[in-house]
Amino acid sequence: MAGRTGEVETDALQTEKRRARIRRSVLVPREGEPEGTIMDFDIADPELSTAGKHRILWAERNMPVLALIRDRFAEERPLAGERIACCLHVTSETANLMRTLQAGGAEVRLCASNPLSTQDDTAASLVVDFGVPVFARHGEDTETTYYEHINAALDLCPTITIDDGADLVSTLHSKRQELIPGLKAGMEETTTGVIRLRAMAADGALRYPMIAVNDAYTKHLFDNYYGTGQSTIDGLLRATNVLLAGRQVVVCGYGNCGRGVAQRARGMGALVIVCEVDPLRALQAAMDGYRVMPLARAAAIGDVFVTVTGDRSVLDAAHFEVMKDGAILANSGHFDVEINLKALQQMAAEVHRTRPAVEEYHLRDGRKLYVLGEGRLVNLAAAEGHPASVMDMSFANQALCSEYVVSHELPLDVTKVPDEIDEQVAALKLQAMGIEIDELTAEQKQYLGSWKMGT
């Protein structure tokens, strides 16, 4: 690549320039290095660390499974010698995952998987109190800083990656291919990331093995359903403080996330309409008691719209044309492409912020439409993301998979979380909740394993 002065920029020069842009570094004590070691980081304000520490310890109270794993990791050090680059939402729950990986002996680096989800106080505490190099600032610019931070995390020369949405993996495959031979495996946290990785595998483009943590039962049946369900409504309410009772709420997409959002909205008295493209999911929504119709029709009825599809331009110009004055538009799918904001911008005479996470699009015909959190994940842009209690299970899967990939060779593909890990996470969560369950008797085991016994 040609630099500004016309010289050819080597990879090393580019890396050096990027490092120079990462503004701060600090001397931290490290085991076996009495002089301490220089730690790079780039966060908004280290002074916020006290508030961040309170937040991290508050989340810890609701993450008992991860705490059990952390205690075992501290004794057994199964990740000793591993370097783990993580691209995740920089929240208090993620902070507890970082502590767990560190307790297992890994060197970690963290960057953000979304420019609006970073909690600056959590980032500060991770750096100051826990010695985790973090590269994330709330509201960072998506064109440059976001990717500079991903590259800074990759400068760790990881042996393992943990990603949420596959931006780190995609950067690795396109711009940092020199790191690929050193990688054992990667884990992916969300549906959209898993879809991207499967597309890479199908194209023959995937160059190191992946585990689809999203697809573990103890992840998507809880995190996507209960977590997204509750936190999306939380984001909607914190942003607007509207009363949901009696309002027409249109949920686009009836996957695990959409089902959760629809159920929570109904629980608050909303009249929920579901829009789907998959006949099975649409049928399920109808039998769950929701009105199901095409979005073209629902667009004129809805007071509040929530997209959770993982698809693009779900809410588009034709829908904006017929929406009621005052309609509220939110997205809880992974990327900010579900609401076609470009089309909306073109229809608007003026756009301005009316509340911290609300932008008013004043259309030329006089109507006003309100977009929450710039069309990014509303539960993270306008609230705090999933409650710690569900992230406990998602991140227990991440920690146990990190341990698994150190001692197992995986095929070059996107594979599922081993059943024994899924079952272990469920059993530990039940134990932490003080819930006991029955066990099969010997007679029942035999019956369930045989095909000979009938009527």
Ligand X SMILES: NC(=O)c1ccc[n+]([C@@H]2O[C@H](COP(=O)([O-])OP(=O)(O)OC[C@H]3O[C@@H](n4cnc5c(N)ncnc54)[C@H](O)[C@@H]3O)[C@@H](O)[C@H]2O)c1
If one asks whether residue 145 binds ligand X (CB under 6 A), the answer comes out as no
User: Which CB, 45 or 278, lies closer to ligand X?
Assistant: 278
Which of 257, 341, 344, 417 is close enough to bind ligand X by CB under 6 A? 257
State the nearest-atom distance from the C-beta of 101 to ligand X, in Å: 21
The full DSSP string for 118-150 is: --HHHHHHHHHTT---EE--TT--TTTHHHHHH
List the structure tokens of 251: 């949920």
Sheet holding 83-88, edge to edge: 134-135, 107-112, 83-88, 160-163, 185-188, 210-212, 414-416
CB 310 within 8 A of CB 317: no
List the structure tokens of 222: 């809880």
User: Which CB, 135 or 225, lies closer to ligand X?
Assistant: 225
State the nearest-atom distance from the C-beta of 254 to ligand X, in Å: 5
Sheet holding 271-275, edge to edge: 291-292, 271-275, 248-252, 304-307, 328-331, 368-372, 358-363, 348-355
User: Which CB, 106 or 257, lies closer to ligand X?
Assistant: 257
Which of 9, 311, 316, 321 is close enough to bind ligand X by CB under 6 A? 311
Identify the DSSP state of 301: T
State the nearest-atom distance from the C-beta of 236 to ligand X, in Å: 12
If one asks whether residue 263 binds ligand X (CB under 6 A), the answer comes out as no
Which of 64, 78, 258, 375 is close enough to bind ligand X by CB under 6 A? 258
Q: How far is CA 123 from the centre of its chain?
A: 16
User: Which CB, 228 or 397, lies closer to ligand X?
Assistant: 228
Identify the DSSP state of 8: B
- Give the 3-state DSSP-derived string for 359-422, with helices as H, strands as E and coil as C: EEEEECCCCEEEEEHHHCCHHHHCCCCCCHHHHHHHHHHHHHHHHHHHHCCCCCCEEECCHHHH
Site size toward ligand X (CB under 6 A) is 29
If one asks whether residue 274 binds ligand X (CB under 6 A), the answer comes out as no
Surface-to-core class of residue 399, CB atoms within 10 Å of its CB (0-12 exposed, 13-18 middle, 19+ buried) = buried
Which of 68, 74, 277, 337 is close enough to bind ligand X by CB under 6 A? 277
If one asks whether residue 106 binds ligand X (CB under 6 A), the answer comes out as no
Q: For residues 380 and 90, give the distance between their C-alpha atoms in angstroms, rounded to a whole number.
A: 10
Stretch that binds ligand X, among 59-67, 239-247, 255-263, 417-425 (CB under 6 A): 255-263
If one asks whether residue 276 binds ligand X (CB under 6 A), the answer comes out as yes
State the nearest-atom distance from the C-beta of 255 to ligand X, in Å: 2
Amino acid at 379: N
State the nearest-atom distance from the C-beta of 111 to ligand X, in Å: 18
Going by C-alpha positions, the residue among 117, 358, 322 that lies closest to residue 239 is 358
User: Which CB, 73 or 225, lies closer to ligand X?
Assistant: 225
State the nearest-atom distance from the C-beta of 81 to ligand X, in Å: 32
Stretch that binds ligand X, among 9-17, 137-145, 240-248, 310-318 (CB under 6 A): 310-318
Touching ligand X, residues 363-392 (CB under 6 A):
377, 379, 386
Touching ligand X, residues 174-233 (CB under 6 A):
190-192, 220, 224, 228
Question: Which residues are near ligand X by CB under 6 A?
Answer: 190-192, 220, 224, 228, 252-258, 275-278, 281, 308-311, 314, 332-334, 377, 379, 386
